[in-house]
Structure 1
């Protein structure tokens, strides 16, 4: 699961760079930072990997173990042990991970163009909507497109109707203030000015997104219809 943390946070290129530095060594480097964070999952994982490396005779399998050792070292040396630990332990309580939030498309595009080597591939939030961002180091191309990881979940949860007794608020500001002290795990429904919203908790961003249920389901239905039509024409 630690490899999932590196992947969803868009650090594949950074890890590949560290991997090229570590693998040529005869004996694997072990980060001293592991000893400063007792109780993390990385410590026993590293010990197990070192034992496995000593007990594995096949060169190909040894190389696979060395890559996993390098992965833990990368997380440790970049100061992400506790963050990675939280991700693994709480992964079932996390919505699809977004690494950044932007209020507008203009802000997101400005970030996309300004960062020399942005994280990739990653999800970001623009307003309350997910976008998939990608960057190719080889030709410095980058882009983003609308992503829909929540809509299938919302469709499933609303199949039998919105739960009764959802918290009700007059304004979005009131709802957001309440959610800060009553975070969704990772999803919940709230009512704002008589309309149903799907609240999604993003712990890494310390915020909630709020999808208008009726609008999100209608847009998702149109998206599925378009996909079906495209598939039928192939």
Structure 2
């Protein structure tokens, strides 16, 4: 089974270079490298990335495989060049495994032509939006049928089942497949309550009215607060799967001290 800690090696290499006084350009480079690793993780591409590393990842494939120039292509080029220099730096010899993982991640995204998906992911992060989701299902039966039929499920990606968050657990060697619940959305809502205290952009008497409003939006924001029957809800939009959902703020996970006192 692929080792998820491979990506953490790259994150550690980034963390060792991150500092408050760094130049803006270096922060952008390190940030893009961090986000590239997170993209592979959030989209459940552990196995494809591992296969890429085993077959081509260490052969110096160029990160940019398309001729057209875009801002993302230029950022990828600068980020790759930065870490290529580090790879040749004798003072960074102990960090070479992590640096190589970063280079492989950048090249993997480009060689598989995932620039559009990566751009969407970056915009999702920029908006401080809800945890990234790869699929949404109406019910458990639908999700289980998808999981069992999928030739290679996205390992540890997040999916919604009836708008409740679940992880995709998949082990290729044994064909083990499960969809356990997770609480990332609950923790996110608690964090968002502090980061962006609820101010309703719209108010509705019933959930049905709010759902109709959300579905009617041509270009909804990735996240917005609304009031439904006197309770705050997060109106969430996932452009990558064109899914819209309403999450009650009451889902927010309280801290351990609050749970003890209740």
Picking from 44, 57, 63, the partner of 1:10 is 44
Structure 2 vs 1, CA of residues 180 and 132 (structure 1 numbering), >3 Å: closer, same or farther?
A: farther
Q: Equivalents in 2 of 1:31, 1:112: separation in Å?
A: 32
Structure 1 unmatched ranges of 5 or more: 229-234
Picking from 53, 63, 68, the partner of 1:36 is 68
Largest Rg, 1 or 2: 1
Q: Equivalents in 1 of 2:161, 2:100: separation in Å?
A: 38
Structure 2 unmatched ranges of 5 or more: 1-34
Structure 2 vs 1, CA of residues 34 and 89 (structure 1 numbering), >3 Å: closer, same or farther?
A: farther
What SS class does the counterpart of residue 49 from structure 1 fall into? helix
Picking from 132, 137, 142, the partner of 1:102 is 137
Q: Equivalents in 2 of 1:151, 1:23: separation in Å?
A: 36
Q: Residue 140 of structure 1 corresponds to which residue in structure 2?
A: 175
Q: Equivalents in 2 of 1:81, 1:174: separation in Å?
A: 33
Structure 2 vs 1, CA of residues 89 and 55 (structure 1 numbering), >3 Å: closer, same or farther?
A: farther
Q: Residue 8 of structure 2 corresponds to which residue in structure 1?
A: none
What's the TM-score once normalised by structure 1's chain length?
0.77
Is 2:156 aligned against 1:128? Answer: no
Deviations 1:114-159 (A, max 9, x none): 012111111101122111121112211010112222324445629x
Q: Residue 23 of structure 2 corresponds to which residue in structure 1?
A: none
What's the TM-score once normalised by structure 2's chain length?
0.69
Report the Cα offset of residue 36 of structure 1.
3.2
What SS class does the counterpart of residue 150 from structure 1 fall into? helix
Report the Cα offset of residue 64 of structure 1.
3.4
Report the Cα offset of residue 32 of structure 1.
4.5
Is 2:234 aligned against 1:167? Answer: no
Deviations 1:90-135 (A, max 9, x none): 4141210110011111110001100121111111011221111211
User: CA contact under 8 A between 1:202 and 1:208: conserved in structure 2?
Assistant: yes
RMSD: 3.2
Q: Equivalents in 2 of 1:213, 1:44: separation in Å?
A: 41
Is 2:202 aligned against 1:203? Answer: no
Structure 2 vs 1, CA of residues 149 and 103 (structure 1 numbering), >3 Å: closer, same or farther?
A: same
Q: Equivalents in 1 of 2:201, 2:115: separation in Å?
A: 40
